[in-house]
Amino acid sequence: MGVLREPEGLEAARLDLGAEIVGPHRVAGGKHEDTDVHRRRSVAVAAGRPGSTRVDSRTVTQRLSFGPIQTSADLEALACHEALAFNTPYDSCVSWLRATQDEVRVVRAGHDVVGGLVQYDMGLFLGGRSVRNIGIAGVAISPTARGRGAAKSLMAATLQDMHDAGVAVSTLYPTTFTLYGRAGYAVAGHRYQYRLPLAGLGRIQASGELRRLDPETDADGLARLYRRLAADRPGWLDRNEHIWQRVHNHPAGRDVYGYVLPADDGAIDGYVVYTLGAVGRYPYDLNIRDVQVAHPDAARRILALFSDCRTLARHAIWYGPLDDPLLLAVPEVGTEISIAETWMIRIVDVRAALAERGYPAAASARLALELTDDVLPDNAGRWLIEIDRGEARASRVDQDAGPDTLRMDIRALGSLYTGHLSARRLAAMEAVRGSAAALEQADRVFAAEPPSMPDYF
């Protein structure tokens, strides 16, 4: 794998939503990959002219258009906006955008790049199946173009492109809930952090010999173990190369350490990848970038590694589900559990999202939905969801099912879809309307353990 260094702390920026758009733009793999052909709608914005090292404060009113990076000047202009938006070194942003250039989309006012974002095509595990998911990162707009429609238009265009390409869902880590909600994103789960004090851990007896991890030769074994475990965890990413590179490479170039626990058959029963705290200081923390264990013995072996570091390390810090197997193997109390971040989901294509998700194998149900969607109107209207033996099919219907119809907007469906909120809870919040029988049936279909997402993007 090559080294991909993403600016540390980079995340999706603020949005103002409700958009008018001018093409061209595209999502890889979709039917609008020809960037010369797309819908065109007009919008007037005041935008700044970015330079390669600064943003001009001069404002202009121009039409917006969307598309890929075309020149090195485009990339450098967007790198300026990213650096200003996220207080990140400019050179780091340039390196990141070069490494992800095929996934970058920019918004132009006339010929000037006034903002952009990065799309990551990956999967999202729900119900034991991988749903196609576009992760959004690094939404950044020139300071002189903010609040004038550039961000809302960029997001609306991006979502429409995803929908046209048949993408099921989109996820992101927000800096604001309210404005992302206007794009149809809904809170879908959390990123749980574990902080284990090592001083009181004591020496842990465990079997098995760890060996140093090699990101190249161990890549397939790590991916097989991760994917097998992740499939049973709602909200975990079906990782693409970018996410795996984030595991093995620190954004600031810090040393990354890793160990694997080999199985008798040559497979991998567990692994851990981590960095140390501030350079030159101790005691330090073990900052775990990824840790997976196939069984309790593997969990104890990884914990034994942590305990063997306790004379110089204060804590082991990692991210996982609420019932994390490492936590279950900790022999003493004192582990701190917190919500580090909250992630959001957007149902992009209702038919694809409901068909690609997994359901309980014994589930057979018919759900009538009536949806509203202000940003992607093709999702709006009446739908019949037929579920049989873990498979679902969504089809358009004209007939109103009366009180057995569940009425909601696209955001409520997102929270229900991941299992973050039950239908009955959403009804209590007045986000869903329907009969008690319909609510109960929806809860049987979408029930899941609390969704989590250990990876950050």
pLDDT tens for each residue of the chain, 457 residues long:
333 444 544 433 333 333 333 333 344 444 333 333 333 332 322 223 333 334 333 343 578 999 999 999 999 999 999 999 999 999 999 999 999 999 999 999 999 999 999 999 999 999 999 999 999 999 999 999 988 888 888 999 999 999 999 999 999 999 888 778 989 999 999 999 999 999 988 899 899 999 999 999 999 999 999 999 999 999 999 999 999 999 999 888 889 999 999 999 999 999 999 999 887 788 999 999 999 999 999 999 999 999 999 999 999 999 999 999 999 999 888 899 999 999 999 999 999 999 999 999 888 999 999 999 999 999 999 999 999 999 999 999 998 878 899 999 999 999 999 999 999 999 999 999 999 999 999 999 999 999 999 999 9
CA atoms within 13 A of residue 399's CA, in its CB half-sphere: 5
- DSSP state letter for 451: P
CB atoms within 10 A of CB 28: 14
CA pair distance 47, 148, nearest whole angstrom: 8
Q: Is residue 72 exposed (0-12), middle (13-18) or buried (19+ Cβ within 10 Å)?
A: exposed
CA 133 vs. chain centroid, Å, equals 8
CA pair distance 278, 281, nearest whole angstrom: 6
Determine how β-strand 104-109 pairs with β-strand 55-67. Answer: antiparallel
- What tokens appear for 110 in the block? 């006339």
Determine how β-strand 391-396 pairs with β-strand 257-262. Answer: unpaired
CA distances (Å), origin 312, targets 51, 258, 315? 47, 18, 10
CA pair distance 226, 268, nearest whole angstrom: 10
Query: What topology does CATH give the domain 348-446?
Result: Nonspecific Lipid-transfer Protein; Chain A (3.30.1050)
Packing angle of the helix pair 219-230, 241-248 (nearest 10 deg): 110
In the prediction, which pLDDT does 47 show?
A: 28
**CATH 3.40.630.30 region(s) of the chain?**
44-183, 201-331
**CATH 3.30.1050.10 region(s) of the chain?**
348-446
CATH number for region 201-331: 3.40.630.30
In the prediction, which pLDDT does 432 show?
A: 98
150 contacts 114 by C-beta, under 8 angstroms: yes
CA pair distance 84, 90, nearest whole angstrom: 8
Which residues on neighbouring strands pair with residue 72, listed in sequence order? none
- What tokens appear for 437 in the block? 């029988």
In the prediction, which pLDDT does 7 show?
A: 53
In the prediction, which pLDDT does 179 show?
A: 78
CA pair distance 305, 309, nearest whole angstrom: 7
In the prediction, which pLDDT does 252 show?
A: 81
Which residue is listed with tokens 């997976």? 292
CATH ID of 44-183, from 3.40.50.970, 3.90.180.10, 3.40.50.1860, 3.40.630.30: 3.40.630.30
In residues, how long is the chain? 457
Q: How does 198-208 read in b/e, with b if 16+ C-beta sit within 10 Å?
A: beebeebebeb
